[in-house]
Amino acid sequence: MRPLRQVLDLPPDMSSHHTLDTAAASSGAVVSFLRGVERRAALLAELQCGDAEHGDRALASAIESFSETALGATPDDWPLLFWTTLLQSPTLNAEPLAPYWHGDFASLARLDFGTRAVLLLRVVVGLDDTQAAEVFGVDPAEYKQALQRALPQRDDGTLDGEAWLALNDEARFVMKQLPPERVAAIARLRDAAVAAKAGESTGKAGGHGASAAPRSRWLGKLWTSVGLS
């Protein structure tokens, strides 16, 4: 028996193909975005918790969550959504057994979790005051004040400008000089996380995807730990 569409001489139904093409294009855009931020994200996660393997697990978890929520947000919102998702990752916020910061990153050990995140959003991610304040959901002036408190200090409490410059230089050097095997490992981590989320989504009812989640209560608590709330 011929399909009803042929009997009625109707044009082929292309809606399913259009839906698949749109989903593929959206997924490709998300992967392209992740390629652009994954090195910074991997370094931020490592320095935030003081352990590279622990940071990678947090990054994988964040990529899975972001890959789903990004489809319900506009690309302009992706940077804020991604960094917020990473910082509120439960894995990132579980302290590793032996956190360690080497070389010019050693000054990060004196900071608590919230203050360290304030600093790394500037040093590693390169967000300005307004952008970083959006991640925490605070005013730029509040973020700027928190950043001033997070800067390296000498024993007498004054700003250690040399340590601050060294911290920035080291972050740039590490990101530019990542060994090929580390670059490949980060790419595999990203592909696996995206594929895992895509696998979970297969067979679900159609729709426009999850909407971008608002700032979680955890980030509110994280900011409170900075001591300015």
Check residue 138 and give its pLDDT: 92
* pLDDT band, residue 227 (cuts 50/70/90): low
Domain range annotation of the chain:
23-226
At residue 25 the predicted structure's pLDDT band, cuts being 50, 70 and 90, is low
- Rounded average pLDDT over 18-38: 74
Whether 39 and 175 have beta carbons less than 8 Å apart is answered as: yes
> pLDDT band for position 12 (50/70/90)?
low
Question: Are 186 and 39 within 8 A, CB to CB?
Answer: yes
pLDDT tens digits, residue range 63-85?
A: 999 999 998 899 999 999 999 99
Residue 224: predicted pLDDT: 66
DSSP symbol at 13: -
103: tokens are 């070389």
Q: Residue 208's pLDDT band (boundaries 50, 70, 90)? A: very low
Q: What's the whole-model pTM score?
A: 0.81
pLDDT confidence band for 21 (50 / 70 / 90)? very low
Give 124-136 pLDDT, tens digit per residue.
999 999 999 999 9
Sign of dihedral through CA atoms 221, 136, 77, 186?
negative
Q: Indicate whether 22 pLDDT > 70.
A: no
CA–CA distance, 147 with 157 (Å, rounded to integer): 15
Specify the pLDDT at position 44.
Answer: 97
Q: Tokens standing for 29?
A: 């855009």
pLDDT at 143 over 80: yes
User: Which pLDDT score, from 0 to 100, does residue 74 have?
Assistant: 93
**DSSP designation for 159:** B
- 106: pLDDT strictly greater than 50: yes
Q: In the predicted model, is pLDDT for residue 172 greater than 80?
A: yes
Mean pLDDT of the region 176-185 = 94
